[in-house]
Amino acid sequence: MTKLGLIAGGGLAPVEIARYLKASGRDYCIIRLAGLADEELSAHPGHDIDIGHFQQIFVALAQEGCKAVCMVGYVKRPDFDTLKRDEGGAAHLPSIQQAGRGGDDSLLRQVARVFESQGYAIEGAHEANPELLLDNGVQAGPEPSAAALDDVNEAFRIANAIGALDIGQAVVVAGKITLAVEAQEGTDALLQRIQTLSPVLIGRESARKGVLAKVAKPIQDLRLDMPTIGVQTVEAAAAAGLEGIVGQAGALLVVDKARTYARAAQLGLFIYGHAP
């Protein structure tokens, strides 16, 4: 396999990919985005580089002999007007900023095009570490009741419809009623507002009700941005009184899988991998 440059933003996903690359014996180096990449990544071969310093990233990747890059981890949309940049950043950031007006998908595709224009193949997080992917069926927590499976299927159906409209990735359905739809506000805000809805509609710790579905939009390039859940998602879903979480098997990243599944079991939430 070709040598991989892992361009690492925040969170645990880059750490888990780095561990996997090391364990599997694949050649790699880490481009640690300054101020974002987890400290544990410093133990791996790599370079610390500011996010706007594209030239420095290209030089590091070339010196290392990388042929592919994997961009993963949390990166907040920067303030382009004040972002520090080297000559590579100066050359490429304007097109990225422009694409960003079309939404996050558009922004990420432009970043990918910049790397492809330099000769790098783009590899998805799930290609760099297939162990992160959600499997088919119940993965954690209690076996869903028939009513819960109705909500699983309805939430999955609505999430796919919302995605096809290029709106967002996540929905919450309870008692077959769609309680909330994610657009630009993100999954955390979506789950928080469930708690503000009528008690008639929602569940609670002692009587959980409703399912969070998180499904990629068809327009989304899964190599650049795959829907992701982790311990935090499980805890926010539990706080919202939900009964479970559903994603598409093979198309949802579960970060820190062992702990995420254990926490779901502990809180009494199921995690379900739906067939495409």
By beta-carbon proximity to its own copies, the closer residue of 12 and 162 is 162
Work out how close the CB of 103 gets to its own copies at its nearest, in angstroms, rounded to a whole number.
5
Choose among 219, 13, 31: nearest CA to 115. Answer: 31
| Site residue total, its own copies (CB under 8 A) | 30
Sequence-ordered list of residues with C-beta below 8 angstroms from that of 112, at least 6 positions apart, any chain = 71, 122, 221, 223, 224
Work out how close the CB of 275 gets to its own copies at its nearest, in angstroms, rounded to a whole number.
21
By beta-carbon proximity to its own copies, the closer residue of 62 and 165 is 165
Applying the rule CB under 8 A, the residues between 172 and 201 that interact with its own copies are 175, 177-185, 189, 193, 196-198, 200-201
Work out how close the CB of 111 gets to its own copies at its nearest, in angstroms, rounded to a whole number.
16
By beta-carbon proximity to its own copies, the closer residue of 59 and 183 is 183
For residue 4, how far is the Cα from the chain centroid? 20
DSSP 4-20: EEEEE-BSSHHHHHHHH
Applying the rule CB under 8 A, the residues between 50 and 89 that interact with its own copies are 77
CA separation for the pair 13, 253 (Å, rounded): 9
Q: Which residues are bridge partners to 6 per DSSP?
A: 30, 70
For residue 1, how far is the Cα from the chain centroid? 24
By beta-carbon proximity to its own copies, the closer residue of 31 and 180 is 180
By beta-carbon proximity to its own copies, the closer residue of 30 and 96 is 96
By beta-carbon proximity to its own copies, the closer residue of 31 and 236 is 236
By beta-carbon proximity to its own copies, the closer residue of 87 and 166 is 166
Work out how close the CB of 160 gets to its own copies at its nearest, in angstroms, rounded to a whole number.
11
Applying the rule CB under 8 A, the residues between 196 and 225 that interact with its own copies are 196-198, 200-201
Sequence-ordered list of residues with C-beta below 8 angstroms from that of 6, at least 6 positions apart, any chain = 14, 17, 18, 21, 28, 29, 30, 31, 46, 69, 70, 72, 128
Choose among 240, 247, 248, 169: nearest CA to 210. Answer: 240
- CB under 8 A: which stretch of 39-47, 97-105, 111-119, 226-234 binds its own copies? 97-105
For residue 84, what are its two tokens? 């520090």
Work out how close the CB of 52 gets to its own copies at its nearest, in angstroms, rounded to a whole number.
17
| Residue 79 per-residue DSSP state | -
What phi, psi does 256 have (nearest 5°)?
55, 55
Tell me, residue by residue from 131 to 170, as one string, x for binding to its own copies by CB under 8 A and - for no binding. ---------------------------x--xx--xxxx--
- CB under 8 A: which stretch of 111-119, 145-153, 171-179, 226-234 binds its own copies? 171-179
Considering only residues 100, 124, 144, 163, which one is a binding residue for its own copies as defined by CB under 8 A?
100
CA separation for the pair 273, 276 (Å, rounded): 9
For residue 208, what are its two tokens? 């959980």
* Residues at the contact surface with its own copies, assessed by CB under 8 A: 77, 100-103, 158, 161-162, 165-168, 171, 175, 177-185, 189, 193, 196-198, 200-201
